[in-house]
Structure formats: C-alpha cells, structure tokens
C-alpha cells in the first residue's frame, strides 16, 4: 500500500501515521502495546481476534468499565484504544481468506504468536511478500525466532527474572523483587513500535518492506544500559538499585522518621528540612 496521502475519510486527518494501515494479530500486552502506540499516532489498526473469546484480556477483571454484559475489562481497554476489531477463526478457510486479505491490504502486519504460527497460516513475511514485497511484518517473541528458547512462550515475570531486572529491583538487603507493572512487556512494545517506524522510513527510501523482530529477552537485557556497564568499573555483581551507588544520589531510598531522613555528608538531615529550606542546604538557600 502506498505511503502517499489518502483521501479515505476513515484514514485522512488521523495524525502523523494517518497514511498507515496495520493488521494486528497480537494479543495480551507487548504486541497490543506496539500497535496502540501506532494507533495513537494516527494509524488505522485492525485487530484480528478469536471469535467468541477475543483477546483473552477482555475477560481480565475486575475492574470493569460498565455493567452487565456490556462491561469491559479496563486492562483490555487500556491497551487497545483507537483500534478497530474483527473476529476471525484462522483455522476456518473462509475466515483465513479474510485475514489474508486484511494482511495484504495493510502496510504493517504485527503478531506475537509462538514462532512458526504465522507461517502455518501463510501469514508470515515470506508468504505475504510474494504478493506484497513492500509489506512490513513485525513479530514479538519471547526469546527470538532461532536458537535456544525460540520455541518457548515468553512471560513478563519470567523474563524479569532471567534478564536480571528482579536482581536490581527492591531494597539492597532484600531478595530479588518483581517490578509491580509488566515493565518488560511494555518496553518490548515500545521497542517494536520504534522498529516498525524505522522500517516504514526505510521503505520510503527503498520501496521495499522487511521483517522486524523484537523479543522480550532482548528488550529486557538491552534496558540495562548504565547498570550493564557497572562491571567495567569493578562492580562485578550489580546489586539492587534500592540503595544505588553514590552517583545516583540524591535519589536513594530514604527512611527513618515520619518525614524521612537523608544524609548531608556524615550528618543526618530531615527530608522536609532539605526540601523546604528549614535548615542549611535547603532549596531556600
């Protein structure tokens, strides 16, 4: 599909990505996060869901928005705004034909099925590119599509542990701690959106599409940035960031006392005094 401006009233005036149509075969969090970012920027996202069930997060509640049969999971709503939806059973030949036409009519196809699932339905990049060489496809995986772990499903909490996110989370004297939110899924979704936008820009120059892949494990490991380089400075085993090294101050965790107590040099100082200028070194100084 051309990147040229369109006069289609559904797509016109939608935003920076109003010229893009996205076929979204993803579910739960990481994939829907990526396509929601694109939708928020104006892309026309068509979400393909399973008949009778839909994206399983439709049933994840409470809390719910609304009452009775019209009640909707706030989890689902929070990840699928600005999208259209269609229910198709990919195991049904007629429905699969519709899904194929949706994919071939899109600029971008996104999935987060297990490796090999899209190929089994003829919806992978190799199959679709025979008719649409300019098509961009994006797969979100747990551990990549080749090598050890490629066949495994990826779960946020599992990858938080395997990638070391838990090891640097929580209090210094405590056990590895899971981040309360599904931070790996969300980070992966953002990386996927960025990768898709890069592919769209490259297609503008070359006229060709490509397949991009983003994994939970790769995203979680890549997020280490400054902490990942600590061994270069002699920190051979990065620990919890609950009490980070001095370079991070004054953002260290503070405790003791109703208002909290920090330290100025070797002297304790009440947090309220430091912030509101009641003592030496406060903002009022």
Active site residues: 185
H helix runs in the chain, sequence order: 30-40, 74-77, 93-104, 117-120, 125-129, 156-163, 183-206, 216-222, 225-228, 271-276
DSSP string, 15-65: -TTTT-EEEE---TTHHHHHHHHHHHTT-EEEEEE-TTT-SGGGG--SSEE
Cα–Cα dist 135/219, whole Å: 24
Quote the tokens at residue 13: 């005036």
Q: Give the angle 14-18-21 at the CA atoms, nearest 5°.
A: 125
Cα–Cα dist 261/11, whole Å: 55
Bridge partners, residue 139, by sequence: 111, 213
* Rg of the Cα atoms in the chain: 23
- Contact in structure between 8 and 25 (CB atoms under 8 Å): no
Number of other CB atoms surrounding residue 285 within 10 Å: 7
Cα–Cα dist 84/47, whole Å: 6
Dihedral angle sign, alpha carbons of residues 200, 202, 207, 208: negative
């Amino acid at each position: 599909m051309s990147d040229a401006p369109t006069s289609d009233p559904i797509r016109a005036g939608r935003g920076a990505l109003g010229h893009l149509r996205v076929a979204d075969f993803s579910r739960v969090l990481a994939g829907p996060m990526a396509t929601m970012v694109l939708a928020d920027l104006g892309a026309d996202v068509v979400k393909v869901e399973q008949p009778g069930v839909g994206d399983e997060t439709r049933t994840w509640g409470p809390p719910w928005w609304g009452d009775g049969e019209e009640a909707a999971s706030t989890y689902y709503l929070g990840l699928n705004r600005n999208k259209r939806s269609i229910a198709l059973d990919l195991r049904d030949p007629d429905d699969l034909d519709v899904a194929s036409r949706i994919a071939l009519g899109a600029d971008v196809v996104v999935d987060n099925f297990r490796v090999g699932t899209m190929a089994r339905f003829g919806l992978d990049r190799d199959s679709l590119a025979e008719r649409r060489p300019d098509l961009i496809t994006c797969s979100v995986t747990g551990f990549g599509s080749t090598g050890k772990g490629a066949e495994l499903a990826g779960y946020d909490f599992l990858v938080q542990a395997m990638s070391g996110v838990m090891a640097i989370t929580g209090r210094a004297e405590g056990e590895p701690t899971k981040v309360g939110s599904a931070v790996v899924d969300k980070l992966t979704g953002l990386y996927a959106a960025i990768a898709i936008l890069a592919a769209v820009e490259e297609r503008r120059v070359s006229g060709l599409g490509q397949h991009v892949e983003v994994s939970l494990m790769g995203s979680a490991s890549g997020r280490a940035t400054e902490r990942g380089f600590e061994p270069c400075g002699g920190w051979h085993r990065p620990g919890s960031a609950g009490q980070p090294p001095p370079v991070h101050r004054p953002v260290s965790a503070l405790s003791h006392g109703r208002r909290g107590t920090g330290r100025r040099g070797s002297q304790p100082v009440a947090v309220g005094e430091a912030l509101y200028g009641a003592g030496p070194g406060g903002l009022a100084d």
